[in-house]
Amino acid sequence: MTGRDAPAPASVTFAVVGGFLGAGKTTTLAALARELTSRGRRVALVANDQGDDLVDTRLAEAAAGWAGEVTGGCFCCRFEDLLDVVTRAVEEYGADTVLAEAVGSCTDLQATVVRPLHRRYGARFRVAPLLTVVDPARFAAIGRAGEADLAYLFDRQLADADVIALNKADAVDPALSAAVRTALAALHPRTPVLTYSARTGTGLPALTGTLTAPPTGRDRDLVIDYDRYAAAEARLAWLNHTAEVRAPRSAAGFPSARWAATLLAELTAGAALVGHAKVHLTAPDGRTTKASAVGDGRAPAVDADGGAMRSARALVNARLVCSAGELDAALAAAVRAADAAAGAATSAPTRPAAFHPAYPRPVHRLPAEPPPR
């Protein structure tokens, strides 16, 4: 990291971004980081997960001047870890803007993260409005997936938002986009909805503008049933896995995008619902390949293709509705299929060890203050 001697800025903008798995939070934060950096801001990104070995941290490192992570639990349950990481971003790098991505299965962020930051650390941080990033295709489909608790969790993420950030405008049929906006206006009439594309940048300046506005969600309490929230998270099997991929028979290497896309297609084929499955490959010379499957019925998206690789370190992060044992078995089968498709041979220092997220127990849970009379 650079900038160890940079002075701590007087006021640090701190934005927490939530939203369901695969909505485009990391892509959005990377786009915001590039945009703000081009305006001279010193931007730090913070990734977050129930496990460690995060694809998102790799992406954040590529997009921002400083990247950190909070692992082993969500921001609300690891609040002190979040503060430690942000303090490092400010002290080591001189960050004036910190963008923190919450776990995609997390909600109630106003009460457990935004309000505690504002009330207890408001002298250090100017806390921005809470953004909930939404994939319109997921919004349209979640009610039909037969997963009532996950649909409830998704809705509570929307209800918690100061601003609903309706992403993927480039990929969504305009009629669907209009229908989703109409439905959101009916369900959450007080919450502004911004339509944009993190991929193309369309609509991004308006989203950037929200970072300087005061939050509005502090004056109302989210009605939430933690048992349902916990049940929803527990529906998901969660796996972070590291492996070494080699090309034993080809001097040219193995086609890394084909390996990644085959792995994800096989991994997600049997799941009742795909939250998000992603794979990130890094070659020794630094080239990277990244692919994602977000349960939108489409083939896995190859977001970056580093081409043929002689060897690579692969990081797989998967959140699927199935049992942990099924996910472990699915990964082993998917690796075999990917190796066969790409002429590769994969080995791993440890066996896959999927788990289900534990019951959420936030460190803080502060009620809203009544609005001033």
Interface residue list for Mg ion (CB under 5 A): 25-26, 56
Question: Between vectors from CA 15 to CA 359 and to CA 106, what angle results, nearest 5°?
Answer: 15
Smaller CB distance to ligand GDP: residue 171 or 348? 171
Q: Report the 10 Å Cβ neighbour count for 286.
A: 7
Q: How many residues does the chain have?
A: 373
Smaller CB distance to ligand GDP: residue 150 or 294? 294
Site string for ligand GDP, 148-167 (x = CB under 6 A): -------------------x
Smaller CB distance to ligand GDP: residue 85 or 247? 85
What's the closest the beta carbon of residue 67 comes to Mg ion, in angstroms?
A: 12
Smaller CB distance to ligand GDP: residue 264 or 366? 264
Residues 6+ apart with CB under 8 A from 297: 137
Residues 189-208 that bind ligand GDP (CB under 6 A): 197-199
What's the closest the beta carbon of residue 303 comes to Mg ion, in angstroms?
A: 12
Site string for ligand GDP, 28-67 (x = CB under 6 A): ----------------------------------------
Smaller CB distance to ligand GDP: residue 232 or 247? 232
Ramachandran class of 193: left when φ > 0, alpha when ψ lies in -120 to 50, beta otherwise: beta
Residues 79-118 that bind ligand GDP (CB under 6 A): 104
Q: Which of 8, 52, 119, 170 binds ligand GDP (CB under 6 A)?
A: 170
Smaller CB distance to Mg ion: residue 85 or 247? 85
| 141 makes contact with ligand GDP (CB under 6 A) | no
What's the closest the beta carbon of residue 341 comes to ligand GDP, in angstroms?
A: 20
What's the closest the beta carbon of residue 157 comes to ligand GDP, in angstroms?
A: 11
Strand order in the sheet with 273-282: 301-304, 288-293, 273-282, 311-321, 236-246, 345-347
Site string for ligand GDP, 298-337 (x = CB under 6 A): ---x-x----------------------------------
What's the closest the beta carbon of residue 72 comes to Mg ion, in angstroms?
A: 16
What's the closest the beta carbon of residue 349 comes to ligand GDP, in angstroms?
A: 25
| 24 makes contact with ligand GDP (CB under 6 A) | yes
> Which residues are paired to 47 by β-bridges?
69
Q: How far apart are CA 138 and CA 167, in angstroms?
A: 11
Residues 6+ apart with CB under 8 A from 175: none
Binding site for ligand GDP (CB under 6 A): 19, 21-27, 104, 133, 167-168, 170-171, 197-199, 276, 292, 294, 301, 303
